[in-house]
Amino acid sequence: MNDYVTRLLALVGDRDPLAVLEATPSRLEDLFWQLGEKGLDRSYGEGKWTARQIFVHLADAEIAYAFRLRQVLSQEDHRVQTFDERRWMELHRGFDAPLALELFRALRLWNLRLLGSLEAEQWARTAVHPERGAESLELMVKLLAGHDGNHIQQLEQIARG
């Protein structure tokens, strides 16, 4: 297991990943209001994304995961398509965080509805990630929950100033 996967799984720990995914939209909204307009343009470190960029990235990642989950569930021997998050970010210069948050919330609800409808054997379906190898849908969902936790920590750090 690579360091990225280990770090994201550690952020989830023994918590139910679906509960983590369900809690994220309201936590993001709380952080959005805490940050305010000026806080959205602050970063958590030199050369790191601003809060605004993190909100945009979370919307993009939810788009990617929505596609990825559906591909794994509907195709045999699926090979995951990765995306270059930095290049995607370049497409969104000047996009607003409120719209990103609204998109994230809608897609997350849609994805949770799908995940909540799955049978046990569907959670075991696998796909090949080009950088990490075979991953079950269950692992993908845990990684998504860890991804949420990672970016929430960054936003919390920005909010603390």
- What is the rounded average pLDDT of the residues 75-97? 86
Domains in the chain, number:
1
Measured distance between the N- and C-terminal CA atoms of the chain, rounded to whole angstroms: 34
Rounded Cα distance between 124 and 116, Å, is 14
3-state SS record for the chain: CCHHHHHHHHHHCCCCHHHHHHHHHHHHHHHHHHHHHHHCCCECCCCCCEHHHHHHHHHHHHHHHHHHHHHHHHCCCEECCCCCHHHHHHCCCCCCHHHHHHHHHHHHHHHHHHHHCCCHHHHCCEEEECCCEEEEHHHHHHHHHHHHHHHHHHHHHHHHC
Res. 93: pLDDT tops 80: no
Closest of 69, 68, 35 to residue 157, by C-alpha: 35
What is residue 26's predicted lDDT score, i.e. its pLDDT? Answer: 98
Tell me the pLDDT band of 96, cut-offs 50, 70 and 90: confident
More confident residue, 127 or 91: 127
Closest of 116, 119, 154 to residue 21, by C-alpha: 116
Which domain, by its residues, includes 69? 3-160
Rounded Cα distance between 92 and 67, Å, is 20
Mean pLDDT of the residues in the chain: 94
Phi and psi dihedrals of 28, rounded to 5? -65, -40
- pTM, whole model, 2 decimals? 0.94
Residues 107, 66 contacting (CB under 8 angstroms)? yes
More confident residue, 85 or 73: 73
Res. 94: pLDDT tops 80: no
- Give the CATH number, domain containing residue 91: 1.20.120.450
More confident residue, 148 or 90: 148
Res. 153: pLDDT tops 80: yes
What is residue 89's predicted lDDT score, i.e. its pLDDT? Answer: 80
- What is the rounded average pLDDT of the residues 36-57? 95
